[in-house]
Structure 1
Amino acid sequence: MKSFSDQIRDLIILNGPISVERYMGLCLEHYYASRDPLGAAGDFTTAPEISQIFGELIGLWFAEIWSLMGAPQRVLWVELGPGRGTLTADALRASQLVPAFHEALEVHLVETSPVLREKQQQTLGTSQKKVVWHETLESLPDDAPILIVANEFFDALPVQQYVTDGGQWRQRCIGLAEDNHSFRFGLFKSEQINMPLKPEEGQLLEYPAASISYMTDLSLRLKKQSGTALLIDYGYAAPAYGDSLQALYRHQFVDVLERAGEADLTTHVCFQYLASVARHAGLSVHGLARQGEFLRQLGIEVRASMLAKAAPDEADNIYRAVERLIETDSQNMGELFKILAVSSLTNEELPGIAINQNGILTIV
């Protein structure tokens, strides 16, 4: 049986070079369909896997949002790309502190990977809540308010890359090297792109067409049904030049053209694109906020102290995990990860995130 790299190679031989966007899409579809990428035995670790407090605080944050919405008797809890289901499991456990909120929740997970669906079923098997799985947003119910959480979801959607060449933008592509075996980057024909600044020769721009399309569908659904989405990811405020495409394999960075379909491919999220789509749909925009500051305002340090007192033998591990989530030097998640919320609630301050009035995102 041919390897996935050989399948990509045959595709290029047959049809010519493929765009970076298509390469990412094909690789990620194969990657997530064939493995559990999380944890020490996988390629990366997410915040819910680091500490239970992360999911607990997200659950209680949404309980407050539910209250601001007028405490509807039925509300959809939706997680996009829920990994092993750990965040939702922790959020549901914490939601029991607000019994009416817990009772109102109807749980829906949007997941395409059969491997991860099985993991989610195992994680949530003891939950009192029925869980419904979906391939896409389109099959979600549309007859109730909706609460959406997306933790490290948009960074795994493919992007288009463009490079200036001879004063024109040309789409970056992937073809075969001279050995007719390994992959290399190249350029397609020129395309017209409108940017406010004139770039220098060789400058690279990423355009997240897939993320914009997904955010459009999400925003229209929020506007129609009412609700709030909380987006947590690593990225930057406004469009900027530069290549952020990266690959992780067994917790180490590797060449993005090696181990096709075996390594996790991601790019940094440009939150301005997502915020602009939401604002255009008539939603209010809150953020950006650093993850560390957001979690501190929600009481992560107080919760850590409570857990440490209840389990003193685990206190060091509890505090180390929390430090990893909130520390704000450039190498820690508290600084790298940003928080953006979009909501049908207008002129309402959401816990831990200021409303954005000027239309230009800044990190606070």
Structure 2
Amino acid sequence: QWRECVVGLDADGALAFGLAADEQRAPDGAAETSEAVEVQIGFDLLIADLLTRPAPMRALFIDYGPADATPGDSLRAFSQGEQVSPLARPGETDLTVDVDFGRLKRLAARMGLDVAGPTPQGMFLMGLGAQARLNQLVEANPDHADAIFNNAQRLIDPKDMGSRFKAICLSSTGLPAPVGF
């Protein structure tokens, strides 16, 4: 049985997570073995908006999340660079979740857009010529070569942001494949 996660007050009057009392049907696309599934509403509105744009149109999105699995419980909050409870200080923290790239891809294709990706950020950046650009920057700034290399490495290396972040491109139909994919 499925129940929506809700926010309410606990016995002490503090915000707390709980489950809705009424049973619901499983969210569209939820795996039967998933214990928690984030349903990211708004993707269909985003895609509908993109479809109203004059062709040719491309939209590039880069963010973190799994390429093809529905995120489970990925809600996090940050304050001054530190992770805190999402309910600790409402309105004073930055809330974030992993993007459901698989669902975005399926919906965009179903609604008539061409989809490239999702592709790991490192592969995407290398496909755009990151190595050549790195070489240019190091040559032009030899005193900062180590910092330039380390920063580029962080963006590309799968151990850092290179695989955690993904790139996806949604396009009007009939365009050539986008660079980097």
| TM-score between the two structures when normalised by the length of structure 2 | 0.89
Residue of structure 2 in register with 1:198 after alignment: 32
Amino acid at match of 2:66: Y
CA distance in 1, matches of 2:79, 2:103: 28
| Equivalent position of 1:68 in the other structure | none
**In 2: Cα distance, 1:312 partner to 1:195 partner:** 51
C-alpha separation between the residues in 2 aligned to 1:323 and 1:333?
A: 9
Residue 163 of structure 2 is matched in structure 1 by: 335
1:216–1:277 contact (8 Å) kept in structure 2 = no
- For residue 258 of structure 1, the aligned residue among 57, 81, 88 is 88
- Aligned residue number for residue 185 of structure 1: 17
Residue 171 of structure 1: aligned partner: 4
Match of 1:207 in 2: 39
Alignment of 1:7-18 (within 5 A): none
| Paired residue total | 179
Deviation of the 1:242 alpha carbon: 2.0
Give the whole-Å Cα distance in 1 for the aligned partners of 2:58 and 2:106. 16
SS in 2 for 1:215: helix
Once the 2 structures are TM-superposed, how far is the Cα of residue 327 of structure 1 from its aligned partner?
0.7
Mapped to 2, the partners of 1:196 and 1:272 lie a distance apart of: 11
- Aligned counterpart in structure 2 of residue 278 of structure 1, from 84, 108, 128: 108
Q: Aligned letter for 1:178?
A: A
Partners of 1:177 and 1:254 in 2: CA distance: 19
| Identical pairs, percent | 36
The ranges of structure 1 where at least 4 consecutive aligned residues each deviate by more than 6 angstroms after the TM superposition are: none
**Long gaps (5+) in structure 2:** none
1:352 matched to 2:180:
yes
Contact 2:113 2:171 in 1 (8 A): yes
Structure 1 residues 196 and 338: CA distance shift in structure 2, 3 A: closer
- Answer yes or no: is 1:235 the counterpart of 2:73: no
Do 1:212 and 1:273's aligned partners in 2 also have CA atoms closer than 8 Å?
no
Superposed, which structure 2 residues align to 1:1-364 within 5 Å? 168-180=1-13, 182-188=14-20, 189-193=22-26, 194-195=28-29, 197-199=31-33, 203-218=35-50, 220-222=51-53, 224-240=54-70, 242-329=72-159, 332-346=160-174, 348-353=176-181
With the length of structure 1 as denominator, give the TM-score of the two structures: 0.46
**CA–CA distance in 2 between the matches of 1:310 and 1:290?**
28
Question: How far apart are residue 347 of structure 1 and its match?
Answer: 6.5
Q: Report the secondary structure of 1:169's partner residue.
A: coil
CA distance in 2, matches of 1:280, 1:204: 25
Runs of at least 5 residues in structure 1 that lack an aligned partner in the other structure: 1-167, 354-364
